[in-house]
Structure 1
């Protein structure tokens, strides 16, 4: 993990900044065919043949977005040490953002690595002219540990620097020093239109998907997607109350 170094421009706030530090697993991608149990973007999700593929209330199979194998995740407080967490979204023009059944998060605690017992393909779905997949290519996730400060887009940022008036240079550089964009598990989020979380209990970032050239990720116009959970629910491995959002320019 990289050593924490506070830029000289913000040294006067070092104590405040260090108190906000969180560990994240930054994601890069390797385009190509993936194994069923790997952390991945797209492809075929880990699923045993005896299980039913998730469908929306109209019986249409969800679009498989990504999955995280927790055995590949390290250093993040309260995250499970095993199991696979999957993310599905509805096949519409806003990826289920405004629908009650707009997305599904599925947790598989025990993983069977016998390919013969696993699904090999996602269900075929008739073309929907309103739906454009938010990525172009399947890819394996590769993780790098990072210690990151609160992001300028996070609601907590204003509280951390409450009563502080940045200089013109500090204001300008804050968007780079406290940048929350990128692909990651854990850490702090980035938003293009501001932090939409009214419920402060959703304090933990499960997954953030941002623009990426390797796999061609794109939510709307240069958008970013986020999945959050309450830390207490995460400790209990209860993924039934996840908060999903995405926004774009």
Structure 2
């Protein structure tokens, strides 16, 4: 991030660099048929038969958004070294299962963590049967198809508006940019362009609107667990992942809950421009 020193006074560039922390940056790629245990977005995932298939409160099936097999991921502090973390959402709901009044209520979405992958899973065909009677015209798919997920550890600097940014700097991003750069629009644009917007585990979140934790004093959900960004494949002109109008989906957890492998209290949010 040497570019920071070309944009900002050195003391501010140093301060931004001090916010640097690790995240697992996720890449998605179309790679044929994937197994039930592989890290993926879309498709069918690992679900122990004794657990059954997740549904909303009306009994309609949820759909796999993504699953992360940590044995396939690089290791990162506080995150599991093994096991599988799965995210399900309601794509028959135009809000994708998000409850604005209580975004932690796991009815329109579910998060599962399976530390033991030895139990027999529902097959993809058995899972397909839950969707036989679903009206296909009433589905709002987020993931178009099935994509293999791989991860690599990278460093991320705090640049996006969020509760973390406000806590660190006492300003919103744009107010701080104005304060530091004094209205230099060219440098402000360069700083803005350094923002990273990727799918990831950990690190700092980004939003197309605002952080849903903004109006909560001492938010319990202080850690970004998983972020899935809308993704457009420029090679074939196909949208692979789409939250509304090119938005982003986020799942937050309390740091100690993550360390304890307790995924029962998750804050789910998505927004779009």
Q: Tell me if both proteins adopt one fold, taking TM over 0.5 as the criterion.
A: yes
Please tell me whether residue 110 in structure 1 is matched to residue 116 in structure 2. Answer: yes
Please tell me whether residue 63 in structure 1 is matched to residue 77 in structure 2. Answer: no
- Once the two structures are superposed, the pairs formed by residues 21-170 of structure 1 within 5 Å of their partners are 21-31=20-30, 32-90=32-90, 91-98=92-99, 100=105, 101-112=107-118, 117-121=120-124, 122-123=127-128, 124-125=130-131, 126-127=134-135, 129-162=137-170, 165-167=179-181, 168=184, 169-170=186-187
Q: More helix per residue: 1 or 2?
A: 2
Please tell me whether residue 204 in structure 1 is matched to residue 223 in structure 2. Answer: yes
| Distance in 2 between residues matched to 1:211 and 1:227, nearest whole Å | 15
| Alpha-carbon shift at residue 180 of structure 1 (Å) | 4.1
| Alpha-carbon shift at residue 6 of structure 1 (Å) | 5.2
| Distance in 1 between residues matched to 2:162 and 2:76, nearest whole Å | 18
**Which deviations, in whole Å up to 9, do the C-alpha atoms of 1:197-242 show, x marking residues without a partner?**
1442212111111121357100000110001101010011100000
| Alpha-carbon shift at residue 55 of structure 1 (Å) | 1.3
Secondary structure of 2:210 counterpart: coil
Count of residues in correspondence between the two structures: 242
**Which deviations, in whole Å up to 9, do the C-alpha atoms of 1:147-185 show, x marking residues without a partner?**
0011322222234334751212443223222x2421111
Q: What's the Cα RMSD here? A: 2.1
Contact 1:151 1:189 in 2 (8 A): no
| Distance in 2 between residues matched to 1:241 and 1:145, nearest whole Å | 26
Task: Rate the CA distance shift 1:18–1:52 in 2: closer, same or farther, 3 A.
Answer: same
| Alpha-carbon shift at residue 88 of structure 1 (Å) | 0.6
With structure 1 as the length reference, what TM-score do the two structures score?
0.88
Unaligned runs of 5+ in 2: 234-238
Q: What is the aligned partner in structure 1 of residue 207 from structure 2?
A: 191
| Distance in 1 between residues matched to 2:161 and 2:197, nearest whole Å | 9
Secondary structure of 1:213 counterpart: strand
